[in-house]
Amino acid sequence: MFNTNTITRFQSLETPFYYYHLDVLRQTLEACRTASSKYGFHVHYAMKANFNPRVLDLIKEYGFGADCVSGNEVKAAIEHGFGKENIVFAGVGKSDKEINLALDADIFCFNAESVQELEVINELAKAKNKIAKMAIRINPNVDAHTHHFITTGLDENKFGINTWQLSDVAETLRKCTSLEFLGIHFHIGSQITDMEVYKNLCTRINEIQDWFEDRGFTIKVLNTGGGLGIDYQNPDTNTVADFESYFKVFKQFLNVKPGQEVHFELGRALVGQSASLISRVLYVKNGQKKNFLVLDAGMTELIRPMLYQAYHLIENVSQSGVISPESEVEKEATQDSELNTQDFIKYDVVGPICESTDCFQKDVELPESFRGDLIAIRTAGAYGEVMASGYNLRDRVGSIYSED
């Protein structure tokens, strides 16, 4: 993934930083656009996965819409040129201020997550003499078979409206004259790789849309959400998500009626492989039971391992052998590879933050590593830079782009 020139470039830079593989991002966006347009499907990019301005601009260039979960995301989408007719707005706790902002922006669709929210949007729209277009986010009770920390579509989750409340929803929709009902919305979880899960979702959507139509409602929009997973283990051999299989499942199993639009909200699958977090080894601590690599990046730069027990591939870029014989650091590496007996050592790869959970991964097998070595934490493009924090009064993590 990192050629000699890139590594040389890294050596002159202050770490840690996010390195954006913009070629990977383009390749991924192209694949998604090709696979979805075959069926006329609409794809909104779930902005919360990564709102780096360069990333947003590229995604917009490929013609995707925006899926927002806060007022500021709606604002950012508009600022980056996503058309208001392509913006959807979900979230279990939209404030009045955020709803008003989205009403003023005339976005395509609110995805409402409770009966009370329907009433609030109706009132706020009425006060502005506007009609709010909306879909109902329904919790279909479909198990996403993903990590329980990132499951959202079960009865026990806080998201969406449960199916036993649908009569209430229908009654409220009839009363609320400042709402225009567009359709139904779902989002059952993230990092989903089992296509059977989406097949089950289609079955539930078909039942639920029949329920509404039996009661005289017209469903114009079926929004199935996002969640498509990526390969964190093999970022180099399986770089682009399986968009073909994903969209095909919906084509096969979703009962799409004439005039209906099918919408998707993909985050991770579009951006996950497009960045690596680049860090340096500050210290090597060899213990009797454990060896630690202490990096200059930690949970303040990438919190997924600590927050979701997530796996990221960790590589020692300086000892990987893809190195030109020119510069100082590289000479050492060349010697190592000449010996070709490079032993792998197990390290707990940890950050500098004053928390015991600030560990990227335990027992990572790496070539013997030294102070100053560059470490790449791969597949960090989704839910990485966006979750960076200033805890411990840390500097804001930088971003570097492959095309600069």
Ligand X SMILES: *Cc1c(COP(=O)(O)O)cnc(C)c1O
> Under the rule (CB under 6 A), what is the footprint of ligand X?
46, 48-49, 67, 69, 90, 187, 190, 225-228, 265-269, 382
Decide whether 200 or 319 has the Cβ nearer to ligand X. Answer: 200
Q: Is the peptide bond before 16 cis (omega within 30 degrees of 0)?
A: yes
The CA-atom distances, in angstroms, between 246 and each of 16, 64, 117, 209, 293 are: 35, 17, 31, 21, 39
Decide whether 139 or 300 has the Cβ nearer to ligand X. Answer: 139
Smallest distance from the beta carbon of 382 to ligand X, in angstroms? 6
With the CA atoms of 239, 244, 245 and 249 taken in that order, what torsion angle do they form, in degrees rounded to the nearest 10? Answer: 140
Residue nearest to ligand X (CB): 267
Look up residue 268 and give its two tokens. 């991770």
With tokens 């052998």, the residue in question is: 321
Say how far apart CA 56 and CA 51 lie, in whole Å: 6
Say how far apart CA 76 and CA 88 lie, in whole Å: 13
Decide whether 268 or 378 has the Cβ nearer to ligand X. Answer: 268
Smallest distance from the beta carbon of 270 to ligand X, in angstroms? 8
Smallest distance from the beta carbon of 383 to ligand X, in angstroms? 7
Say how far apart CA 333 and CA 163 lie, in whole Å: 60
* Nearest of 254, 264, 255, 169 to residue 212 by alpha carbon: 169
Look up residue 262 and give its two tokens. 């099918």
Say how far apart CA 202 and CA 197 lie, in whole Å: 9
Decide whether 364 or 382 has the Cβ nearer to ligand X. Answer: 382
Smallest distance from the beta carbon of 128 to ligand X, in angstroms? 24
- Which residues make beta-bridge pairs with 139? 162
Decide whether 47 or 366 has the Cβ nearer to ligand X. Answer: 47
- Which residues make beta-bridge pairs with 145? none
Smallest distance from the beta carbon of 229 to ligand X, in angstroms? 8
Smallest distance from the beta carbon of 105 to ligand X, in angstroms? 18
Decide whether 235 or 267 has the Cβ nearer to ligand X. Answer: 267
Smallest distance from the beta carbon of 110 to ligand X, in angstroms? 12
Say how far apart CA 255 and CA 207 lie, in whole Å: 9
Decide whether 155 or 210 has the Cβ nearer to ligand X. Answer: 155
Say how far apart CA 369 and CA 375 lie, in whole Å: 10
